[in-house]
Chains A and B, each alone.
Chain A
Amino acid sequence: MLANLHVDVRGHRPAELAGIDDRRIAGDHALALQAFHSGITTGTGDVYALGQRPHRQPPLDLQLRQQPQINVVESDRLSSRTGRRVSFGSHNSRAYEPQFVFVYACLPTLDVLRSHAQTGGYSSFRRSERLVTTSLLPTESPVALIDADGQPVPDALWSMPSDEVLVALHRAIVLARRFDAQATALTKQGRLAVYPSARGQEASEIGAALALRPQDWLFPTYRDSMAVVARGVDPVEVLTLLLRGDWHCGYDPYEHLVAPQCTPLATNTLHAVGVGHAATLKGEDTVALVMLGDGATSEGDTHEALNFAGVWKAPVVFFVQNNGYAISVPLAQQTAAPSLAAKGIGYGVPAMLIDGNDPAAVYRAVSVAIARAAAGDGPTLIEAVTYRIEAHTNADDATRYRPAEEVRQWLARDPLTRLTRYLTDRGLLDADRIAALDAEAEAEAAALRQRMNVDAVLDPADLFRYVYAEQTPELRAQQQELAEESR
């Protein structure tokens, strides 16, 4: 992030700067970070006098919306503690500059903080030095390794996954897309009550699922059937129970370490933190990855989970699939944050912003996050930018809230097309192999269709069996009541 800093003093070094007491920096720094985190620019005047609390806010219409330019402002003042020159990064609006400036990044203060930490100077309001490291911030634009045209991105932030991994990702994506299409078709035939499609999000679903190690937990939502199947759960167990309506969850969560697909938004983020923290307490090498949508990031549980995970340094990966909409509500109405990934820094959780339609980037990012968690370095927040091609579920009409042109634009960024092109260009895939894969996907879909056509035998007595570990007399009586009724 530091590399992105545009150093520009431009002469408006505020008078106040000369007289600041560097002991005040950290406090204001934290406030400024909070402001940055919520997408609100605070303050008027050239720059905050760093000894003041920047709690005045400009009128709403003056709040920054565009990606601001970042300046580094240096002062002539030498720190009384470190003897170094005190310098400040500032977050600066082009439009309102120089009126609206707030101090936001201040690497040299790390030294100041360190020296103060040693003397106990900041202990009351500075929990750790981590907050001031800009390494917590995501990149400004999504990281991709393979671009929309299937070309490797030059000078990409991370290395490309191995050929084996890319080929495995490709196969799993082909199978997942066919599975998803089959599930949608089954809703039209009345064999499934409801299905939330993840078409278009395959790179995120599969990239994340395949990056998990066998001992890691997956906490999926209703939308993540593809990831659940990729993790090894029988697709019929996924579809018949939750989505056909035979029971709420059809698989044994402990068999593949996949939690039940979660419907109350964001509530599973806390469960993932609990599983991860329990692993830490028990000395297990287990990481929990929780999936959530852009809309779910607005829920209070997401905030609490990120906060708990940050405090506990829990081995958790928060994997946000930003598909642009929460049913009909677009992201712009969900948050004023510069990005969803930008929220991480407010919790001391490092974040990554990635191209969620690039399977290579997703796989690499999740692998890095898992390795970091497994090494004891705590949680990571990943925002994968992607798009839901189908409606929210088969019961939704997406034409009411988004233009067809938008969908067309995203179809041009298709994850499978770009991976196919990349692998074909490198000789890792050819027409025969593609045909064989398609045939395999077709056979799986046919088997799924057939198995889904067999009606399950449901036993109403099950309604009373699992409420408690041991059936209560009351439930025994009610089970009896129902049995007599249906005799």
Chain B
Amino acid sequence: MTIVAEQVVEAAPVASAVTMEAALNRALADALRDDDRVLVFGEDVAKLGGVFRVTDGLAATFGPARVFDTPLAEAGIVGTAIGMAMNGLRPVIEMQFDAFAYPAFEQITSHLAKLHNRTKGKIALPIVIRIPYGGGIGGVEHHCDSSEAYYTHTAGLRVVTPGTAGDAYALLRQAIDCPDPVIFLEPKRRYWSKEAVTLDHTGSTVDGAVIRRTGTDVTLITYGGTLGTALEAAQEADRSVEVIDLRSLSPFDDKTVAASVRRTGRAVVVHEASRFCGYGAEVAARLTEQCFHYLHAPILRVAGFDIPYPAPNLEEHHLPSVDRILDTIDRLQWEDS
């Protein structure tokens, strides 16, 4: 995956409206079809098709040697995937929910992220870990974590998250083709978002950031679950708001993002993960380093509070809302106000 700077997405030739979930399913099916080294495994991914049905039908099509259920143990799933990759296969594995990937943390940070470096590139681990993440779907505790910063803080991992169905397809295909381990974060609340799009991964690469909506006054920088909220806020705002969908959280596409911020002179980072040491802290820090003389106001963050993820009936207070984003835009030291 190479980073391509600053692209404005043209409306793709309309095929049919697909959900992100269906796009992911197609990406897996196409990858399994195109490369017989690709395997899909995890908890309940075969017969059931995954608790979110992302792997629906794959076991029936590709058989139990390519798509299979494992015993219930996340370190086991990641650890054995590492061994399989050492022996020439390309595992695409599923963690059932964000918080249930934590038992695999040691395998991910101590081996998955480091074996390539440890062996000076002799061992490559082309593994994709798919993790449904984030809240906004009324999930109970342990089913709504935004765990991206744990992974982006770990050198050796690539971390990507699609915000649209079209990107979900292309990103997943590229992640599977990537020689590095990729943490593929699937924003649960966008699983059912529909988009009219042709599913294609052969054109432009999408692991750089993309400008979803152009504007001149302020840049909203977001990804994954809050993309929809940010776009809605941009629509509502009485200023001209540019919205950037990061897509690749690590590596970070400095070029696209910094160019936008230099143009607008103001920036707000939006994510639902907690603010303290959250991903937005890094974004704000590096943009300050790169764009200080272009900025008319401090870079602000709209993030989840620094609390454990709330129970379903309270989550609306925690998640960044359109109002909260608009209020934050208003605080950007405008000369006219």
Chain A residues with a Cβ under 8 A of chain B = 247-249, 252-254, 259-260, 264, 267, 269-279, 281-282, 284, 286, 288, 300-301, 304-305, 307-308, 311, 462, 465-470, 472-474
Contacts and interface: CB of A to CB of B under 8 A. Distances in A.
A273 B80 contact: yes
B83 A288 contact: yes
Given A272-B83, A275-B87, A470-B2, A308 B70 contact: yes
B155 interface: yes
A305 B79 contact: yes
B111 A264 contact: yes
B82 interface: yes
Interface in B69-104: 70-71, 73, 75-76, 78-89, 103
Given A248-B117, A249-B118, A270-B107, A473 B251 contact: yes
B281 to A, nearest CB: 16
B251 A304 contact: no
Contact of B84 (A274, A300, A472): A274
B254 interface: yes
Contacts of B111: 264, 267, 271
Given A270-B80, A274-B84, A278-B83, A466 B120 contact: yes
Given A278-B87, A307-B76, A467-B117, A270 B122 contact: no
Task: Give the 3 A-B residue pairs with the shortest CB-CB distance, closest first.
Answer: A274-B83, A270-B79, A304-B76
B86 A275 contact: yes
A457 to B, nearest CB: 15
B166 interface: no
Contacts of B81: 274
Nearest to B3: A473
A247 B119 CA distance: 9
B121 A466 contact: yes
B76 A308 contact: yes
A339 B179 CA distance: 42
A375 B117 CA distance: 35
Interface residues of B, number: 46
Given A254-B122, A469-B180, A274 B87 contact: yes
A300 B75 contact: yes
A467 to B, nearest CB: 5
A275 B251 contact: no
A252 B73 contact: no
Given A278-B87, A474-B252, 12 more contacts: A248-B118, A252-B119, A267-B107, A270-B82, A273-B79, A274-B82, A274-B84, A278-B84, A301-B79, A304-B73, A304-B75, A469-B124
A308 B75 contact: no
A301 B106 CA distance: 10
B116 A277 contact: no
B241 to A, nearest CB: 27
B104 to A, nearest CB: 10
Contacts of A300: 75, 103
A274 to B, nearest CB: 2
A465 B73 CA distance: 33
Interface in B194-253: 251-252
Contacts of B11: none
A275 B87 CA distance: 5
Nearest to B70: A308
Contacts of A473: 3, 251, 254
Given A260-B118, A307-B73, A267 B84 contact: no
27 contacts: A248-B118, A253-B119, A253-B122, A260-B119, A267-B106, A270-B82, A271-B79, A271-B86, A272-B83, A274-B81, A274-B82, A274-B86, A276-B83, A282-B87, A288-B83, A300-B75, A300-B103, A301-B76, A304-B79, A305-B80, A311-B71, A465-B121, A469-B116, A469-B124, A469-B179, A473-B254, A474-B252
A397 B320 CA distance: 56
Nearest to B114: A248
A278 B79 contact: no
Given A259-B86, A281-B65, A274 B120 contact: no
Nearest to B107: A267
A271 B114 CA distance: 14
Contacts of B84: 274-275, 277-278, 281
B155 A307 contact: no
A281 B89 contact: yes
Nearest to A304: B76
Interface in B38-90: 39, 65, 70-71, 73, 75-76, 78-89
A397 to B, nearest CB: 28
Contacts of A466: 116-117, 119-121
B158 interface: yes
A467 B156 contact: yes
Contact of A467 (B79, B86, B116): B116
Nearest to B115: A260
Contact of B80 (A260, A308, A468): A308
A305 B156 contact: no
Contact of A278 (B88, B115, B120, B124): B88
Instruction: Among B3, B79, B84, B115, find the residue whose CB has the most chain A CB atoms closer than 10 A.
Output: B79
B72 to A, nearest CB: 9
Given A253-B122, A276-B83, A469-B121, A282 B116 contact: no
Contacts of A254: 122
Contacts of A468: 116, 156, 158, 180
Contacts of B158: 468
